[in-house]
Amino acid sequence: MKTILLSALALTLALADRATTAEPEHPNILWLVSEDNYVFLGCYGDPLARTPTLGKLAREGVLFERCFTQPVCAPSRHTLIAGVYAASSGPGQHMRAQGKIPSWLKGFPALLREAGYYTSNNAKTDYNSPISVQDAWNECGRKAHWRNRPAGQPFFSVFNHEVTHESCLFPEKELPLDFPPMDPARVRIPPYQPDTPEMRADWARYYNHITLMDGQIAAKLKDLADAGLAENTIVFYYSDNGGVLPRSKRFLQESGTHVPLIIYFPPKWRHLAPAAPGSRIKDPVHFVDFAPTVLSLAGVKKPGYMQGHAFAGVAKEKPNEFVFCTRDRMDERYDMMRSVVDSRWLYIRNFRPDLPYVQPLDYMFRARGYQSWARVAREGKLTPATAQFWGAKPSEELYDMTTDRDSVKNLAGDPAHRTTLERMRAALKRHTLEINDNGFLPEGSALEGYDASRAPGAFPLEHVFDLAALASDRDAANLPKLIESLGDASEPVRWWAAQGCTMLREKAAPAEAALRKRLEDASGAVQVVAAEALARIGKTDTALPVLERWVTNADAPFFALQAANVLDRLGESARPALPALKQSLAALPKGKGKGKGKGQSTEGQYPKRILERVVAVLEGREQALVYPTPQP
């Protein structure tokens, strides 16, 4: 009997030991994120990059050659955390906003928590929406770490590395380096940028910071290995948006939306990988695909509302034919662009082609490269290539990414590529309707938001899309249609009709009577753009009082911001409003805020920033940007 009891005890101890050492049922998942990086890495073919850690990760993992996202961080993070395009939850597509999400929408890490994962985020929560941080993360902050989980619990952990952030170009002094700095003479200046000493200095510094980032990634991987977790952890490396050198971050050319993505699958989890180690995948992927992919790797079912497709794991889906990117308001400046990407082509639709690519955006112009580009423009020394980005935009752009790495040869007007152009156009319209793109609504509209914009009869999106495309064609033959649409019952229809008149400038003179009626429109956004259209046909005496009234309306900060943008665009034509603007500035709250979150616009700091510039330019204390003569 004693022998039997001893044998049973031994078996129990053996089973207990096996239970504590058994293979985990789910992989750990680690996201290592760098900020503001285009694919300036050796593994992506850059000859100057010093990135040995990421090179090794690519050789042992899977490299995605065509990963795209929004050209700025907050809308990108909204898309990442929600698994839904930011433009589905207006105003989440704008930079620094609070997207109106449905009450049931959780950040996808909450679904991992429900499945038994420990989730940690170190440390950004720049989600452009009221996603619940408490629901998503067990731990969130500068001390959040997978080490803090209960023993044996699988983890999903995120670490953000800020050393390559845009602000790295602002300081006067470089960070301490333990390697020889990049020689500015060695860098390649793309044809769309002027070759100035400041531009070369920014390029060199950026390469130095990419090397520093590679070392930080190496340290995180060493921590994982030292803890004995490397063989059970799937590692993602990616950047939150494209690079920070001029004409990258904030813009839809490849330099602003194409980001690196490398995923390492340890041998025991290699069956979840989409391809063998060392493979390079050409199918396009997007940040909206990341949430479904992580859920697929963790064995968690994807919710039906998610708009992306898993590109790895047990629930891997069919590869994307297209992915889509958006650019809307960036801090205090408005624009609207949409892009479509497949495995070869980049298509961009500019819905406000009258607005120059380069606007005097305060934060962007802290970089010396942008300042030098403005100097070259003032000196009249822009070349045809460097003037492309500085002047008015074409309505459509089409680039062959296999032969035009710099997106400078626009093939949209080439009859040889007409079929491709029409295919990409059709894909954009289809996608707009599928995700219910809120970018076609004015910011501040009661129609904005996931729920409001989807309410039955909210607004005729397909009609609005068609009208926006017609307006952005800037064809005077369409003016009768625009005039008719100014009387439509739907706010966004009237808004786009007024924008179409604005884009036609003096050719919209026959619309004067219809535009004057819209100065009393129920929508502040329509009033503002109607005032701009009237100013463009020489009726500034009628337009300026409307703009002055809105620009200081603290109860409608987004309409105030839109009015401030118009006043700035009017330039010298706004001079009669100078006394009122100075008086308005004196009445606005002091302080510029911290530059984070929705407080900038709701507290009136963005309108104030623009008004300060308008007054300074009109008084001769600040230089206006100089643009080349617009081409027809």
Confidence (pTM): 0.94
Write down the mean pLDDT value for the chain.
93
Domain extents in the chain:
27-320, 424-537, 539-632
With contact defined as beta carbons under 8 Å apart, do 504 and 474 qualify? yes
Taking the C-alpha atoms of residue 273 and residue 25, their distance in angstroms, rounded to an integer, is 16
Q: Give the residue from 459, 469, 212, 228 showing the smallest Cα distance to 338.
A: 469
pLDDT at 4 over 60: no
Say whether pLDDT at 594 is over 60. Answer: no
Distance CA 346, CA 369 (A): 26
Q: What is the spatial distance between Cα 122 and Cα 140, in angstroms, rounded to a whole number?
A: 6
Compute the distance between CA of residue 322 and CA of residue 293 in angstroms, rounded to an integer. Answer: 17
Residue 447 falls in which region: left (phi positive, over 0), alpha (psi -120 to 50) or beta: alpha
262-275 CB burial, b ≥16 within 10 A, e <16: bbbbbeebeebbbb
- Evaluate the CA torsion angle 410, 412, 417, 420 in order and state its sign: positive
The model's confidence at residue 552, banded by pLDDT at 50, 70 and 90, is confident
Strand 345-350: give its sheet, edge to edge. Answer: 323-327, 337-341, 345-350, 396-400
User: What is the rounded distance in angstroms from the CA atom of residue 60 to the CA atom of residue 131?
Assistant: 35
User: Would the pLDDT of 152 be above 70?
Assistant: yes
pLDDT for position 600: 39
Q: What angle do CA 160, 246, 180 make, to 5 degrees?
A: 65
d(CA 191, CA 294): 39
For 239, how many CA atoms within 13 A lie in the half-sphere containing its CB? 33
Give Cβ neighbours of residue 342 (< 8 Å, ≥ 6 apart): 284, 321, 322, 323, 424
Out of 76-80, 389-393, 435-439, 503-507, which region has the weakest mean confidence (pLDDT)? 389-393
CA distance 374 to 358: 9
What's the pLDDT score for residue 587? 80
Please confirm whether the linkage preceding 123 is cis (ω < 30° from 0). yes
pLDDT digit string, tens, across residues 446-483: 999 999 999 999 999 999 999 999 999 999 999 999 99
Q: Which residues are designated catalytic?
A: 73
501 Rama class: left (phi>0) / alpha (psi -120 to 50) / beta: alpha
The total number of residues shown for the chain amounts to 632
Distance CA 199, CA 452 (A): 45
What's the pLDDT tens digit per position in 360-384? 999 999 999 999 999 999 999 999 9
User: Please, are residues 284 and 322 in contact by the beta-carbon 8 Å criterion?
Assistant: yes
Under 8 Å between Cβ of 259 and 244: no
In the block, which residue shows the tokens 């009234």? 549
Residue-wise pLDDT tens digits, 496-540: 999 999 999 999 999 999 999 999 999 999 999 999 999 999 999
> Is 27-320 a CATH 3.40.50.300 domain?
no
> Which 8-state DSSP code applies to residue 26?
S
Please name every residue paired with 264 in a beta bridge, in sequence order, or none if there are none.
235
Longest C-alpha distance within the chain, in Å? 107
What are the CA-CA distances from residue 605 to residues 527, 532, 546, 599 (Å)?
22, 22, 20, 8
Whether cis (ω within 30° of 0) applies to the bond prior to 130 is no
Tokens 């309505």 -> residue: 395
pLDDT band at 174 (very low <50, low <70, confident <90, very high): confident
